[in-house]
Structure 1
Amino acid sequence: MTADSGRRAALRDLLAPFLATLVCLAILVGLGTWQLQRMAWKQGLIAQIVARSRVEPPLPLPSPEAWDPAAQEFDRVRVTGRLLNDRETLVHGLAPGEVPGRALQGYYVVTPLQRDGGGIVLVNRGFVPTELKNPRDRAAGQVEGPVTVTGMLRASEARAMFVPAPNPQTGEWFNRDVAGIAAAKGFERVAPYLIEADATPNPGGWPKGGQLRVDLPNNHLQYAFTWFGLALCLVGVFGAFAWRRLYDGARPDPVRSETAGIP
């Protein structure tokens, strides 16, 4: 077999692997490009949320006719009224501890607020550790009388797949379900979101507000590098494979060369 005929045979053999590699390469590059687009979208979303969470002065709470949790989430608002401490709800949760990387286990104190203008809105006043679960152990933190609450609006927290279901009868809640908590406490007309209170110190130091972090994960650049890196690896693997096939195909068969012309 001559070098030219061997190379032509090798090229024919490479056609199918080349097409398969081309399809895979297009998919990998497409995924990397999509991640870059997602990164730009996430950066814009984070900037929008941060800007809305820092509005000064805070906005008034929307009227019932204008309630729109999806559009108003993360708005910074201020509302006055009276906290109904005897009807608070404790929601299981974690909060950053004093030791980095070690979280505190405890509860978020969700307290209904009777607004001056009428109506109820739930307020996440902040975090308390497990040993302060009983309101009597933090009686100094029970604010009585008129109060003004400033914080960010948050829509109802969806229950994830592995989060236990709540038990309203025993008061066990694992996600901040606005409608569920309101119904369990007997409220009929409640704002469809809660207010995440600012870090204004409460009497006695508990609950500790200001636990909300506007920190949406944005790892799309890493994902894009992963897909583009796989695309480069694919090109390298196919290039080495093709070079070997072409090089071996171009080399004459030594047995046939030695016996050529022998009858």
Structure 2
Amino acid sequence: MRILTHFVVAGAIAVMIGLGIWQLQRLEWKEGLIASYADAADLPPVPYPKLATVPPLYRKSSVNCLEVIDWRHQAGQNADGQSGYSHVADCRTGAEGPGAAIDIGWSREPEAGTDWTGGAVEGVIGPDEKFGQRLVARDGQAGLEASAPPSPEAMPNNHLAYAVQWFAFALIAAVIYLLALRRRSREEAAP
């Protein structure tokens, strides 16, 4: 029975150490991804929306919104870091193909900008929860201020903290198990 306990605890500690190592590998991957996104700002513009498995985030682009299909008013910031609302138009860009999400600008009003009916917009591609990517207009449309441009520095990168957490769990488990073994050996040695 005791040998089985040793294997179970050793296995659990090995899994925790493995998860810590995996998080360190993810940290390296995420740092490379963020660096490639930072480099994207200097690359030539790409067509939008671009059908790709990986959206061309943080690249300059332009799109022609033929018709606004729907609106989303979300928490957002302007270029000065003030909190308010980003106004995202879900657009039709052609008879076929995917729609486009365009952040037309920022305001303090929750439903401003809804009189915008579309047109050509230039900006930077950022992440979007509905389409995977959205064009953030370089200049605010419909009298709105420009929203804060998307930045790869805003991407969360908590992998080092997660790795430390897993290594700490492994260390704590090892210490607790060693203390339990020590206590058991003292109890067995006691008359």
**TM-score in terms of structure 2 length:** 0.72
Q: Does 1:107 align with 2:47?
A: no
> CA, structure 1 residues 97+207, in 2 after alignment: closer, same or farther (shift >3 Å)?
closer
Q: Does 1:28 align with 2:27?
A: no
The partner residue of 2:27 within 20, 36, 39 is 39
Q: CA deviation at 1:234?
A: 1.0
Question: SS at the partner of 2:53?
Answer: helix
Q: CA deviation at 1:153?
A: 3.4
For residues 230 and 120 of structure 1, the distance between their equivalents in structure 2, rounded to whole angstroms, comes to 45
Aligned to 2:105: 126
1:91-130, Cα deviation, whole Å (9 max, x unpaired): 13111379x8x9424632456679xxxx998443223432
1:18-63, Cα deviation, whole Å (9 max, x unpaired): 22211111111111111111111111111111111x115x32527x
Aligned to 2:147: 209
Contact 1:106 1:133 survives alignment (8 Å): no
Contact 1:28 1:231 survives alignment (8 Å): yes
Map 1:129-140 to 2 at 5 A: 129-130=109-110, 132-135=112-115
Structure 1: runs of 5+ lacking an equivalent:
1-12, 159-174, 179-192, 254-263
1:118-144, Cα deviation, whole Å (9 max, x unpaired): x99844322343252542xxx8xx898
> CA, structure 1 residues 97+143, in 2 after alignment: closer, same or farther (shift >3 Å)?
closer
Contact 2:124 2:149 survives alignment (8 Å): no
> CA, structure 1 residues 45+134, in 2 after alignment: closer, same or farther (shift >3 Å)?
closer
> CA, structure 1 residues 39+69, in 2 after alignment: closer, same or farther (shift >3 Å)?
same
Contact 1:77 1:152 survives alignment (8 Å): yes
Equivalent pairs: percent with the same residue? 22
For residues 96 and 240 of structure 1, the distance between their equivalents in structure 2, rounded to whole angstroms, comes to 52
Contact 1:109 1:207 survives alignment (8 Å): no
Q: Does 1:69 align with 2:55?
A: no
Q: Which amino acid aligns with 2:150?
A: L
Map 1:1-263 to 2 at 5 A: 14-52=2-40, 54-55=41-42, 58-61=44-47, 67-71=50-54, 73-74=56-57, 76-79=59-62, 87-88=67-68, 89-96=70-77, 103-105=83-85, 107-110=87-90, 122=100, 123-128=102-107, 129-130=109-110, 132-135=112-115, 149-153=121-125, 157-158=128-129, 175=130, 177=131, 194-198=134-138, 200=139, 204=143, 206-214=144-152, 215-251=154-190, 253=191
Identify the structure with the greater helix proportion: 1
Q: Which has the higher contact order (CA 8 A, sep 6+)?
A: 1
For residues 223 and 59 of structure 1, the distance between their equivalents in structure 2, rounded to whole angstroms, comes to 36
For residues 28 and 133 of structure 1, the distance between their equivalents in structure 2, rounded to whole angstroms, comes to 50
Q: Which amino acid aligns with 1:124?
A: D
Contact 1:77 1:151 survives alignment (8 Å): yes
For residues 20 and 28 of structure 2, the distance between their equivalents in structure 1, rounded to whole angstroms, comes to 13
Question: SS at the partner of 1:107?
Answer: strand
